[in-house]
A and B are shown apart, each in its own frame.
Chain A
Amino acid sequence: MFSKKWNVLLLTMCLALFAAGCGKSDSGTGGSASKEGTSASEKVTIKFMHLWPEGVSAGQNKIVNQIINDYQKEHENVTIKQEVLDNEQYKNKLKVLSASNELPDVGVTWAAGFLKPYVEGNLFAPIDDLLGGELKDKFVAGTTEAYAVDDKTYALPLEFNIAPIYYNKAIFKKYNLEVPQTYEQFKGILKTLSDNGVAPIALGNKDRWTGSLWYMYLADRIAGQKTLADAIGGSGSFKDAGLVQAAKEVQSLVDSNAFVKGFNGLSNEEGKAEFLNEKAAMYLMGTWELPNYTTNEEIPKEFRDNVGFFKFPTVEGGKGDINSWVGGPGVGLFVSQNSEVKEEAKAFVQYFVTKWGEQSVTGAGVIPATKVDTSALDLPPLYIDLFNEMNKASSITLFADVQMPANAAETHLNMIQALFGKAVSPEKFSEEHDKAIAKGN
């Protein structure tokens, strides 16, 4: 009798626990689904996942919240639920969510190689209808194409970046250095700086894509934009004499102590710190860094005023011209194919992209992918100069690791680190690239 009573009691307890456990996981997905309505006035929740945490990207975070608040005010039935993650965690989470088919309604994605598996997995919704509508001709030419697969566009770009070499004017002045036009002059600067005990270039190559920028520019200037683009695309080869020469040039830069000590063990943040602390004179990085040299109050004003930029110098006898850039659209917004609120999500994306274009220029100091009229705004000169350069660009080559499919990109990045660390020869470097790209995954 006693044991029977216990039996029942325990069983109910177990069941209660299980029910509670299951109930929790259900409310996440089921909750929003059940809220959707048939009519527009019913409550709708759009889940939005992005990568601008308050601590790291204060400017962007503020704009996102501003836009969401405005949107919710204009559309009282819509609630936007944010989930914010840091860059690397964001990528991982997106991956895990996609495996279990639980992508947020709206999220952030990168272009080309990153986006492709998601499109092939039928997880992102095509949003060409938005491009044909209100947003027609709003984007800078060549930005939306990077998000297209088989003539359909799967995300709308927010940012557009090119990568200049930022330099410390005070250090340059101290050693009587001029902005270089040719690679020979550039090498002269490197020599003067390192002879005087100043680290010429800040680089954090633990992250690998940072070193990729240097290789890409050298490849562009020596072999020309087309050769580089063909090699990355698979129709050409990295064994092209110019491209091998570029790899050799990277190693000769390493040999001449052009980069900060221990660069292969430093993250981009640590590398950047050398530039910010005025220990290194130059830093090659995308225009997303601009706020740090213009409006970011956390960085001393004297330093910000001392930062200038120059274009990667031309190499004598090389095929590239000085107005050719490495860069491309940064992140864009996608709408999940399996979203229960697809139409509302699309409307929000359209709103977000438009507002972002207006606000990010002054608010975050980044360059949006939508066209902006800078003449009416009061902007820092460094920003305007770079903005104008971008409009003058003869070509813009998309970052190699973004352009290549994931597996090849991984090989590229590993090879870059090995090249900088002199663990591979330039010939082997080219060979491995061709092999990885031929595999096509």
Chain B
Amino acid sequence: MDKVMSNKKIIALYVLPALLLIMAIVYIPIVLTAYYGLNQWNGIGRMKFIGLDNYAALLTDGTFWKSAWHSLLLAVFSCASLIIYLAVAMVLATRIKGANLFRKIYLIPMLLSSVAIAQLWLRIYHPTNGIVNSVLESIGVANPPAWLSEPKLVLFALFIPILWQYAGFYILIYYAALKNIPASLEEAAKIDGASALQIAWKIKLPLAMEVIKVTVVLAVVGSLKYFDLIYVMTDGGPNGSSEVMASYMYHTAFRAYDFGYGSATGFFLLVICLIVTWVIRKITAAKETIQYS
């Protein structure tokens, strides 16, 4: 087998199918999207080349920047919630009773489809019959807000199910990372008299750092291009107060029949994601990798 793998032609052959597929499904559409963004096109008729007009318009489009701000807020909240997930994972990774059960409980939301989650939370938030408002009324709140139609509240009301949805995913990643830390290190620290907090701070956290960096990128990029729950639950409304970049792209392309502008938005979204990823990698670039063994 070594002989086979050292043959350059064979390597090319192995890589080729996946490469072709990824080209056809990912990279060519990206190039096409960038190109469509240069056109005035309703998605049906003939395209008209208008150069960078769409991109220029996008830069001064207040609605777009408002939705970009919403996406950014989501990214910030996602990153903040990572701390909680990490803490939960640390607790689960110690040998406490029922850790296995809790791990499964946290993971279940991830197994539900987004639409099911959306339907569930729509009912939870229902202004008159929803559980949230029923509870609030029963404890004496006279006029609880209609969560999903209050422009000031809707975005934060949406963040809760979005963060809840991914909790299990990140907890699972952290759990695996923490389980990977050799038990001998922890034991050695214990013998030296380190407290649980010290072990977590000085040993577990540094050793899980690489994984944490990856999850930060995942959380930020995932938030920036987030779409599904928002689309089902509020459709960006009311009055665009829960519009994010991806839903704005969808609305311009499929509702307003402005495929050129929608494509430009999509391409811009990609550029923003790339820049943000690059910046995060730059900031978190390890000066030195910590090795304890």
Residue of A nearest to B257 (CB): A406
Q: Which A residues from 335 to 356 make CB contacts under 8 A with B?
A: none
Residue of A nearest to B254 (CB): A92
Indicate if B251 sits at the interface (CB-CB under 8 A).
Answer: yes
- Interface bits B130-162 vs A (CB < 8 Å: 1, else 0): 000000000000000011111100100000000
Contact partner of B10 (CB less than 8 A), chosen from A3, A91, A279, A424, is A3
Indicate if B184 sits at the interface (CB-CB under 8 A).
Answer: no
Contacts of B259 in A (CB 8 A): 99
Contacts of B234 in A (CB 8 A): 206, 265
Q: Is B255 touching A264 in the complex (CB atoms < 8 A)?
A: no
Q: How far is the CB of A197 from chain B (nearest CB, A)?
A: 12
Stretch at the interface among B76-84, B198-206, B237-245: B237-245
Indicate if B7 sits at the interface (CB-CB under 8 A).
Answer: yes
Q: How far is the CB of B121 from chain A (nearest CB, A)?
A: 12
Contact partner of B257 (CB less than 8 A), chosen from A14, A117, A423, A424, is A117
Q: Is B149 touching A263 in the complex (CB atoms < 8 A)?
A: yes
Check A414/B240 contact, CB under 8 A, given A3-B7, A7-B9, A407-B258. Answer: yes
Q: How far is the CB of A86 from chain B (nearest CB, A)?
A: 12
- Interface bits B248-274 vs A (CB < 8 Å: 1, else 0): 000100111111000000000000000
Indicate if B44 sits at the interface (CB-CB under 8 A).
Answer: yes
Contacts of A418 in B (CB 8 A): 238-239
Check A265/B148 contact, CB under 8 A, given A99-B43, A406-B42. Answer: yes
- Interface bits A293-310 vs B (CB < 8 Å: 1, else 0): 000000000000000000
Q: Is A7 touching B43 in the complex (CB atoms < 8 A)?
A: no
Contact partner of B256 (CB less than 8 A), chosen from A98, A262, A279, A407, is A407
CB within 8 Å: A-B pair count: 115
Contacts of B43 in A (CB 8 A): 95, 98-99, 117
Contacts of B239 in A (CB 8 A): 264, 414, 417-418, 421, 423-424
Contact partner of A417 (CB less than 8 A), chosen from B9, B44, B237, B255, is B237
Q: Is B257 touching A264 in the complex (CB atoms < 8 A)?
A: no
Q: How long is the Cα–Cα vector from A421 to B238 in the complex, in angstroms?
A: 7
Q: Is A95 touching B254 in the complex (CB atoms < 8 A)?
A: yes
Interface centre among A17, A99, A206, A260 (most CB of B within 10 A): A206
Indicate if B17 sits at the interface (CB-CB under 8 A).
Answer: yes
Q: How long is the Cα–Cα vector from A279 to B126 in the complex, in angstroms?
A: 14
Q: Is A206 touching B235 in the complex (CB atoms < 8 A)?
A: yes
Contacts of A11 in B (CB 8 A): 13
Q: Is B44 touching A118 in the complex (CB atoms < 8 A)?
A: yes
Indicate if B4 sits at the interface (CB-CB under 8 A).
Answer: yes
Q: How far is the CB of A28 from chain B (nearest CB, A)?
A: 18
Check A14/B17 contact, CB under 8 A, given A3-B10, A421-B238. Answer: yes
Contact partner of B44 (CB less than 8 A), chosen from A14, A120, A279, is A120
Residue of A nearest to B45 (CB): A121
Q: Is A417 touching B238 in the complex (CB atoms < 8 A)?
A: yes
Indicate if B282 sits at the interface (CB-CB under 8 A).
Answer: no
Indicate if B127 sits at the interface (CB-CB under 8 A).
Answer: yes
Indicate if A438 sits at the interface (CB-CB under 8 A).
Answer: no
Q: How long is the Cα–Cα vector from A441 to B254 in the complex, in angstroms?
A: 14
Contacts of A266 in B (CB 8 A): 127, 148-149
Check A7/B13 contact, CB under 8 A, given A262-B146, A264-B237, A266-B149. Answer: yes
Indicate if B99 sits at the interface (CB-CB under 8 A).
Answer: no
Contacts of B258 in A (CB 8 A): 406-407, 441
Q: Is B240 touching A265 in the complex (CB atoms < 8 A)?
A: no
Indicate if A10 sits at the interface (CB-CB under 8 A).
Answer: yes
Q: How far is the CB of B19 from chain A (nearest CB, A)?
A: 12
Indicate if B3 sits at the interface (CB-CB under 8 A).
Answer: yes
Q: How far is the CB of A269 from chain B (nearest CB, A)?
A: 10
Contacts of B235 in A (CB 8 A): 206
Q: Is B255 touching A406 in the complex (CB atoms < 8 A)?
A: yes
Residue of A nearest to B154 (CB): A265
Contacts of A7 in B (CB 8 A): 9-10, 13
Check A265/B147 contact, CB under 8 A, given A7-B9, A17-B17, A123-B44. Answer: yes
Q: Is A410 touching B238 in the complex (CB atoms < 8 A)?
A: no
Indicate if B284 sits at the interface (CB-CB under 8 A).
Answer: no
Q: Which B residues from 151 to 192 make CB contacts under 8 A with A?
A: 151, 154
Residue of A nearest to B232 (CB): A267
Q: What 12 new A-B contacts, CB under 8 Å, besides A206-B235, A265-B147?
A: A6-B4, A14-B16, A17-B17, A98-B43, A117-B45, A123-B44, A261-B127, A262-B146, A264-B149, A264-B237, A264-B239, A423-B151
- Residue pairs across A and B with Cβ atoms less than 8 A apart, 14 shown, are A10-B13, A14-B16, A98-B44, A117-B42, A117-B43, A121-B44, A206-B234, A208-B237, A264-B146, A264-B238, A265-B150, A265-B154, A265-B238, A421-B238
Smallest CB-CB A-B distances: 6 pairs: A262-B146, A265-B149, A262-B127, A265-B148, A406-B257, A264-B149
